[in-house]
Amino acid sequence: MEQKHPNDDLVRDGLDRVRDACTFLGLSQAMVYKLMDSGMLPFVKLGRSRRIPHKALIELAARNLVGGSVK
């Protein structure tokens, strides 16, 4: 039987390149790296490349949502 890892749900929706994360969030590459290095944005390290779970980008944006109400 295959064991489920606690982070399986986070990576299920795929991994984005840093440049795609920048576009999605509307942030500079330097800022996205700062978010990763500070632990605010989880990432996967594959060799020298970093990939960011798309779900983590959505969660980061949602956590920092200010004002308004969603109906």
Q: How far apart are CA 32 and CA 14, in angstroms?
A: 18
- What's this model's pTM, rounded to 2 decimal places? 0.82
User: What is the rounded average pLDDT for all residues in the chain?
Assistant: 91
Location of structure tokens 């960011």: 52
Residue 5's pLDDT is what?
Answer: 72
Residue 71's pLDDT is what?
Answer: 60
pLDDT in tens, the chain (71 residues): 566 777 788 888 899 999 999 999 999 999 999 999 999 999 999 999 999 999 999 999 999 999 876 66
Q: Nearest 5 degrees, angle CA 70-CA 18-CA 36?
A: 75
